[in-house]
Amino acid sequence: MTNINFLNTTHLCSDRLLATFRKGAGGWAIRRLSIRVRYSRGADFSGTCFYADRRIHINLGRHLVYPYALGTNLARAKVAGRKWYKPVYTMQMNDGEELAAFIFMHELYHLLVKKAKRNTRQKESMCDRFAARFLVDHYGSVVRDRCRAPIPREEWDWQNLEGFVAAARDRRAARLPLRATVRAGREAYGQLMLFS
């Protein structure tokens, strides 16, 4: 069971955001989670994860026009001579909810890595893969290369991400309905029951 503290100060639907975050966090042993969705001060988007008090901040650019091509760190590193590089794969975000979902899942994986007592350094690609999986599975998103050609899933989804953070899995997840209160622009406290 997770106590969730949720605040949305954007025009996005709070109920839909919370349902998306609930789905993404399902089955993970996180006792409490604080999520803030707000407009950025100028950047297209950003996300921050605070380990100590399990806070996730999601910042979305008010100026963004959708569909929005999100560059990711999904590709495997390639070697050219003595240098290595990673091609940028993109995912189309059709609206702010999809972008918020990607950012949330990315930051959630950072929390899961910490909870599983793994080294938290240099996990950006793993976090992007975890988020991309969620969007592909739940929104039907497509990962594309720089020429906008679809990338086969096995080219970017090749790590056992759940196994890496298996220690953060909720083994006692109750199968009870969620009761949460959500009010746009004001804090809301509720109970989030995680499902396995």
Q: pLDDT tens digits for 142-153?
A: 999 999 999 999
Band (pLDDT 50/70/90 cuts) for residue 177 is: very low
Assess whether pLDDT exceeds 60 at residue 110. yes
Dist. CA 141–CA 134, nearest whole Å: 9
With a pLDDT cut of 70, the percent of the chain lying above it is 86
Dist. CA 191–CA 4, nearest whole Å: 6
Helix H or strand E encompassing 5: strand 2-8
- Answer whether 84's CB lies under 8 Å from 74's CB: no
pLDDT in tens, 40-54: 999 999 999 999 999
| Model confidence, pTM | 0.85
